[in-house]
Chain A
Amino acid sequence: MNNTTNVTINPLPVRTWNRLKLNDSSVDLPVPGIYARNESPVHTLPAGMGEGLDDYFRKLGVRAEENELTKETGSFCCAIRPEKGELAAREFVFHVREGAAALIRIDMDPSGECCPDNCHENSRADNLGKEGAVTAVRTLIHLEKNASVDLIQVHSPGESDLILSDTGVHACEGAEIRVFHVFPGSSGDKDGKNAKIYAALRSDLAGEGSSLSLRGGYRLGDECVLDMNYIVNHLAPSTKSDLDMRGSLHKGSRKTFRGTIDFRRGSGGSKGAELEDVLFLDDDVVNRTIPLILCSEEDVEGDHGAAAGKISPEALYYLCSRGLDKEEAARMLEEGRIAGVIRAIPERRVREDLLRKVFGEESV
């Protein structure tokens, strides 16, 4: 039997009422005996999940896997697929050199099949004493001047699986990162029941004119949990951020979205926007949202918009008038939230592969 440790993750940058239980989350994580304690710092960039995951990675002895992405070697792809009862803990550090245009794709897909660029290598631990697999991935990206990255992270847990997906970004002058977070979840009664996903991203826009865009899409059902914490720190002038998260909830699923745009002093001329759109497909769902805009700079523009509700009667009427029944219409709107994210991926090969994987061959 293995030990577990309770880890506090996804802290809000600014606390609010404790009774809401939104200031952070906690999760029980396995600590298998085979890992040696690593006292050295595990990374150099702060990420969104907070110090709790730092300590956990130290306990596990996870060592960073360094990668350099240049104009010549500009892509990285990895699928992490622990078996049931296994733990896979990985930390990737990417140095994206000046002017490079890179693509990073990481599939956290315990129940999945091989992808074309698979580099399947798990940190194994037998008999976690848990039913599902545990995947813990930290991705740290340092973008040099005028570098750009498309970061694609796919989170596809199987039944009772647990995924922790933590990301830290540091962007220098003129650098640009586009993040695509895909949570395809389960469809119908197949995989993914009782799965839990914790996702976080912290991006420090430290160089003038640097930018981040995030497009996220989720489909949650079967008592699944999705707990997110996205933080963008505008540290330099004329930086831009755009967070767009859309998803659907059904069958007892629970979602928490924390989104923070923080305009620090010296970030004049910056703009930040958050948008969240949640579709309720069943009654017994839980939707929690806390979008923060923090501002200590005058010359900035920050916006947040959120909408949550059932399918509008107008949309339903329109789709039904085109020959769909109610269930088909709901499925189309649900899938559209994820397909919209995938279709925005600039790289055709990745886009088509993901569409095929999530929606089947005919969707490409």
Chain B
Amino acid sequence: MKQKTFVDDINRELYDFRYEEKDYFRVRSGLDRAVVEEISSEKNDPQWMHDFRLRSLEIYNRMPVQNWGPSIDGLDMDNIVTYVRPNTGMSAKWSDVPDEIKETFEKLGIPKAERQSLAGVGAQYDSELVYHNVRKEVEEQGVIYTDLESALHGPYQEMIRDHFMKLVPPTDHKFAALHGAVWSGGSFVYVPAGVKVEIPLQSYFRLNAKGAGQFEHTLIIVDEGADLHFIEGCSAPKYNVANLHAGCVELYVRKNAKLRYSTIENWSKNMYNLNTKRALVAEGGSMEWVSGSFGSHVSCLYPMTILEGEEASMNFTGITFAGEGQDLDTGVKVVHNAPHTTSSIGTRSISKSGGVSTFRSSVQITARAKKARASVSCQSLMLDEISRSDTIPSMDIRTGDADIGHEARIGRISDEAVYYLRSRGLSEEDARAMIVTGFCESVSRELPLEYAVEMNNLIRLEMKGSIG
């Protein structure tokens, strides 16, 4: 009889705490024009944004739900509250943040990380940012890192208007339209030409409210020759009703600029994570994605990169861990639309305890993209016979002058590898733990040390050999 590997679910105790809402402002649940008008009024939108929200709502109402991917039947928008504002303004000092919110972020280790290893932090609680700060020396370089609402009314308002939902228009899909209608919170980053931000910026999104949605918008512009590493983290306590995350990330990487965007996503298992991320990369620019998807009930997440300038490049490294009750549909999209562009995609996925993991990708190479090169590698590990793992990669190549490689592999932990490690003195449990940890290593080595540790904490691959 073959031995089975037992891998514990991700330990979410660290993230599964909650506070009662005290004097919070909530719009009523459901979505209609009155709700959108109320959000717009609450946020003091400029007229163009008010109109944009209403146009997005019209698009949302007429667009069908996608006819592919995981089921989102359990998501009833009539029961979702699209805007919840904690009873506080935004502060640049943790001491000014209300105690329970501050305590939340303390438990998540954000202030400590800020002190030790970050150039700036934005912390969002439900629908609004409650803390935003950037180191003085980074500010002095001309780097703008602020909440999007402030930017809408400040000196960068024209820049926001020129870029907001231009990469991800509300017509992109139903939940992009929803985002356009009810977005709130999120960050705006502008890195001036030639500026290299040596240590990362981080935004952390915490959704505390039951039955609510979070719709933050992140807009980053890295100007010519500049360099930035941006980290995004997110979590929520678990409730017995559905929560929704439909954020939007738009990234502009200018000529010869470089942007690394890292995400550790650990939403609770009642969350529908229908997030949209997209990057536009100019000549010689470089976009790197590092993505860890661990939480949520259902995820549809496919960061997209458009390589618009000659010699632009994209690298994607991702891992997905689907446990009990999870249907995580993740992947990546890339469009090569200029000569000599390159892309490299490497992903790992693990399925266990009935979890469903789907890798979905799209590589498009247009007729303009002469001498483009693309490679895709995806590997999946099945840890039991009640889980599921699917791989759905696609390639559409419209020029004969390109080189494309693709490989996919699915399987279980190799008996031979376990046997070899045991012959070197390891116990069966340790051997299997080492193999699974090694399977994830391609992602963890791409993260800053403290986040790699967080990821390993998340995975908590406690191995027990058992006869099954």
Residues of A within 8 A of B (CB): 14-18, 20, 22-23, 249-250, 263, 265, 268, 280-310
Contacts and interface: CB of A to CB of B under 8 A. Distances in A.
Interface in B54-79: 66-69
Given A288-B395, A301-B411, A306 B400 contact: no
Interface stretch (B18-26, B153-161, B247-255, B377-385): B377-385
B401 A304 contact: no
Contacts of B388: 294-296
Contacts of A250: 400
A47 B395 CA distance: 25
Contacts of A265: 385
Contact of A300 (B383, B391, B400, B410): B410
Contact of A293 (B367, B396, B408): B408
B326 to A, nearest CB: 15
Given A18-B68, A304-B407, A307-B404, A297 B397 contact: no
Contact of A20 (B2, B362, B380, B404): B362
Contacts of B360: 16-17
A293 B407 contact: no
A284 B2 CA distance: 52
B400 A281 contact: yes
B419 to A, nearest CB: 16
A283 B399 contact: yes
B394 interface: yes
A292 B388 CA distance: 14
A263 B385 CA distance: 11
Contacts of A289: 394-395, 406
B467 interface: no
Interface in B168-225: none
- Leading 9 A-B pairs by shortest Cβ distance: A280-B400, A15-B68, A309-B403, A306-B406, A302-B410, A290-B394, A304-B408, A287-B397, A298-B385
Contacts of A281: 400
A299 B385 contact: yes
B155 to A, nearest CB: 38
A227 B364 CA distance: 18
A309 B402 contact: yes
A282 B400 contact: yes
Given A288-B396, A295-B382, 15 more contacts: A15-B67, A18-B68, A20-B396, A282-B400, A285-B399, A286-B398, A290-B393, A292-B391, A295-B380, A299-B412, A300-B410, A302-B409, A307-B405, A309-B404, A310-B400
B395 A303 contact: no
Nearest to A255: B397
B390 A303 contact: no
Tell me the dominant secondary structure on chain B's binding face: strand
B395 A308 contact: yes
B392 A16 contact: yes
A297 B403 contact: no
Interface of B: 2, 66-69, 360, 362, 367, 370, 380, 382-385, 387-412
A292 B396 CA distance: 15
Contacts of B391: 292-294, 304
Given A20-B396, A295-B380, A306 B404 contact: yes
Contacts of B367: 283-284
A296 B389 CA distance: 6
Nearest to A304: B408
14 contacts: A16-B68, A17-B68, A17-B362, A20-B362, A249-B400, A284-B367, A284-B400, A287-B395, A293-B408, A293-B410, A299-B2, A300-B412, A303-B409, A304-B391
A296 to B, nearest CB: 5
Contacts of B408: 291, 293, 302-305
A303 B401 CA distance: 26
A223 B367 CA distance: 16
A316 B382 CA distance: 42
A288 B396 CA distance: 4
A226 B412 CA distance: 35
Nearest to A272: B410
Nearest to B410: A302
A308 B403 contact: yes
Nearest to A280: B400
Contacts of B398: 286
A188 B210 CA distance: 67
A293 B390 contact: yes
A278 to B, nearest CB: 8
Contacts of B395: 287-290, 306, 308
Contacts of A299: 2, 385, 412
Nearest to B401: A283
A294 B382 CA distance: 12
A287 B392 CA distance: 17
Contacts of B394: 16-17, 20, 22, 288-290
A63 to B, nearest CB: 35
Nearest to B407: A305
A305 to B, nearest CB: 5
A291 B406 contact: yes
